[in-house]
Structure 1
Amino acid sequence: MPLPHDEAFKKLLETFFQEFIELFFPELDSMLDYSETRFLMQELLVDIVGEEARELDLLLEIRYRGLDGYILIHLEPQSYRDTRFHERMFIYFSRLFERYRKEHKLIIPIAIFTSDEIREEQDTLEMVIPEHQILRFQFLKVELRKQNWRRFIDSDNAVAAALLAKMGYTTREARDVRREFLRMFMKLKTRLDQGRLALVMSVADLYFQPDRAQDEEIIQELMIQYPEEGEAIMELMPAWKRWGYEEGVAEGIEQGIEKGQAEIIRKLLLHGFTPEEVSKAVELPVDEIKKLV
């Protein structure tokens, strides 16, 4: 079953599409004109694969310098094992080609594998006969668990920060990953608005499994190293906000939310999350989220 983080992950890709391409596909990045980017309406994609009646996760139109025209880029996050996923990507591609071939000369399919397992994901579909290749379809892919987390810690890329906990690291390195994420977040604070910061935090918090005592140590370390920033980080961390909520239950639900999460919940709602999505992300009842709408 797909993980409940899918909607938050898609919003991350929508909001930071350019940062995602810059991070994982630098050669493609150099060919794209981001000033002319348009996400296609989701309802236009319903039933695009016929009997499966699925929706594509993300489809956008963007200008491609090499063709001096517009192309399509299809982004498909995949969080669970599916041995026929490469076939599904080909079906998506075929339907897109059928529908858009007159307007767009190039369609680029990209899969983002977010599974916790390290495995080789099949990205090619081939049909051959002796001495003749009938078909060879290959999509671009990112396998997050195969990415070395240390490669990204000096980056100011918002996608790198949000997905750091999904990169490849050992159990012994988990504390270092957590600390580096918080440090990266401090750098992002200087150039991102509060809504985008909240989005990065909400996605990252889905992947981290914070230990409260350990986080307290890390926050203290950062407050010593960055005395003006450490407390600000703590104020924006969803995990810390949840603890504030839990500790405030005895004083009443409303007071608990005020103590913990009201500000960040409002920012997420303003950023386009539904009350149900926010409820999953911050682990609060939907009814309480709706009171802040």
Structure 2
Amino acid sequence: MDKLVKVFTKEGNEEWILVHIEVQGYIDYSFADRMFTYYYRIWDKYRRRTTALAILADDNKHYYPSCFEQSFLGTSIRFEFNTLKILDQCDRKLAESDNVFAHVIMTVKIALKSKKVKQQDLFDLKIQLAKRLLSQDIPKWKIGKLMDFLKFYVVLNDPYLRESFSEEINNLTLKTYTAMGMDEAVLYITREEAKEERSAILIKNLLKDGRFGLEEIAKLAEVPVAFAQEVKDSIDS
């Protein structure tokens, strides 16, 4: 779900540029080649200046693609692009940041650690992040989106811990929104639970249909692949 984003300069000029953001979650040694391909196709279509950013969300600390080079019989090209490596981001700075996307980056870092830490430790990390998120002065709709991302992107395999996490989040949410009114807090939680249930039902129906792969189903249900996998596993078990 690559995006071409139109933005205006800080000087307020009418000129606009294109920002190509590519999220790469696994090692692909042809990745720099693909980035160059996207660049020249964008240039061919729009004839506008483009800056490219690769967000490297893989778990390999040695994987750093940042340029594409080619040379042949006196003709050469070197294409460089910006990179942001999730693993390199400082936990302390992310925790102190008031930028909403700092929470997204922290969630991804926790997910990358999930293969190496115990389920209880993973549970504790998710709760800590949820508490920090709910303590921030962020609009409720954004908190809802980020909480969904935290819940579905970082999957707890232990059924007991999954249920405990949901209960803990409900309690935290209730405490956070009580100041705004108990009715509003209960309504928020009820809506979130209903949304998750509707997504699970849709995924089950698409799985029964048999025409779609898991990634396609996740896109149709507008949920992370990890959540779609969790629903599939519940059917198979």
Indicate whether the TM-score tops 0.5: yes
Pairwise CA distance, 1:179? 3.3
Aligned to 1:249: none
- Partner amino acid, structure 2, of 1:119: H
1:203 equivalent in structure 2: 149
Q: Which amino acid aligns with 2:54?
A: A
Structure 1 residue 129 displacement after superposition: 7.9
Provide the residue aligned with 2:194 in structure 1.
262
CA distance in 1, matches of 2:103, 2:88: 16
Give the superposition deviation at 1:278: 4.1
| RMSD (Å) for aligned C-alpha atoms | 4.5
Q: TM-score, normalised by structure 2?
A: 0.63
Alignment partner, residue 111 of structure 1: 54
Residue 219 of structure 1 contacts residue 230 of structure 1 at CA under 8 Å; is this kept in 2? Answer: no
Match of 1:121 in 2: 64
Q: Classify the secondary structure of the residue corresponding to 2:98.
A: coil
| Aligned residue among 6, 11, 23 for 1:77 | 23
What amino acid is the match of 1:112? I
Matching residue of 1:247: none
1:138 equivalent in alignment to 2:80: yes
Matches of 2:186 and 2:89, distance apart in 1: 29
Aligned to 1:152: 94
Q: Which residue of 2 aligns with 1:185?
A: 133
Tell me the amino acid that sits aligned with residue 17 of structure 2. I
| Pair 148,73 (structure 1): closer, same or farther in 2 beyond 3 Å | same
Q: In the TM superposition, what is the alpha-carbon distance from 1:236 to its structure 2 partner?
A: 10
Q: 1:235 to 1:146 in 2, by over 3 A?
A: farther
Q: State the SS of the aligned residue for 1:121.
A: coil
CA distance in 2, matches of 1:58, 1:79: 16
Question: In structure 2, what is the Cα distance between the partners aligned to 1:284 and 1:213?
Answer: 16
- Residue 21 of structure 2 contacts residue 54 of structure 2 at CA under 8 Å; is this kept in 1? yes
Whether the 8 Å contact between 1:72 and 1:108 is mirrored in structure 2 is yes
Aligned residue pairs: how many?
198
Tell me, what secondary structure is at the counterpart of 2:51? strand
Select the structure with the greater relative contact order (CA < 8 A; seq sep ≥ 6).
Answer: 1
The SS at the match of 1:81 is coil
Native 8 Å contact 1:156 1:187 kept in 2: no
Inter-partner Cα distance in structure 1 for 2:186 and 2:83: 35
Q: CA deviation at 1:263?
A: 5.1
Task: Report sequence identity in percent.
Answer: 20
2-side partners of 1:119 and 1:236: how far apart?
Answer: 46
Q: Secondary structure at the match of 1:127?
A: strand
Secondary structure of 2:77's counterpart equals strand
- Aligned position for 1:229: 176
AA paired with 2:31?
F
Give the superposition deviation at 1:76: 1.2
Distance 1:146 1:230, change over 3 A: farther
Answer 1 or 2: which has greater helix percent. 2
| Gap regions ≥5 residues in structure 2 | 200-217, 233-237
The Cα shift of 1:114 comes to: 1.8
CA–CA distance in structure 1, aligned partners of residues 224 and 79 of structure 2 = 40
**SS of the residue 1:65 aligns to:** coil
Q: C-alpha separation between the residues in 2 aligned to 1:71 and 1:216? A: 47
How far residue 122 of structure 1 moved from its aligned partner, in angstroms, is 1.2
Classify the secondary structure of the residue corresponding to 2:95: coil
Give the whole-Å Cα distance in 1 for the aligned partners of 2:80 and 2:154.
32
What's the counterpart of residue 43 of structure 2?
97
